[in-house]
Structure 1
Amino acid sequence: ELTNELDTLNKTLKEQIDELSEKNETIQIELDEKTRLYKQVQDRLDKCQEECYQIRESLEGAHENITEVDLGAVQGRTAIQLEAQALNRANGQAGIVLVGAPL
């Protein structure tokens, strides 16, 4: 009778071990899949960060160019105004000539 009880207990333990092994395998498969997905997401995040960096650099360059163009336009208008004033004085005309910004 003791042998039968031990056999039954052994079978039960073997079944539990098999069941736990299957669960462990399932968990490992899920973990591997989640790790793979995490790596994909991390790669995409890295690419997005690089794209953002490049866009920011491009925008900063464009802003600098616009600032230089605006400064050049102001300097150009100032030079034209000074020249017009000098011509007015030379011709005996008073007043200041204002040159507006182009549309």
Structure 2
Amino acid sequence: MTAISKDTATEIALAYREVETAEALLADILKGIKETHDRAPDIRDAFGRRREGLELGVPSGDNSRRCYHVPWSMCKPILETHIAHHRARIELLTAKAREEMGAP
């Protein structure tokens, strides 16, 4: 058997990292919402400032754009979809890795 390519291995690792990060963020948000009885959770950034929602965007470069204060009510479906997307990607990449290894 041969090894899988470096690119496939990297893509699998990055997809797993996205799932882990999104699951942790989702858990924090859901815990915060539960503790505040469906009001905005008390989630703070690294500087201790309270955040009023998620940020979405392209973080840097000439084309950087950001949306600030994406409502907490939108976070759960966004993160659940993100997690499902990356889990599906892991399944596809696992099949690709098997192919690269010559496994049936």
The answer, yes or no, to whether TM exceeds 0.5 is no
Structure having the higher Rg:
1
Higher RCO structure, 1 or 2 (CA under 8 Å, sep 6+)? 2
Select the structure that is richer in helix. Answer: 1
Instruction: Name the TM-score class by shorter chain.
Output: 0.3 to 0.5
Q: Give 1 or 2: higher strand fraction.
A: 2
Give TM-score scaled by structure 1 length. 0.37
What's the TM-score, normalizing by structure 2?
0.36
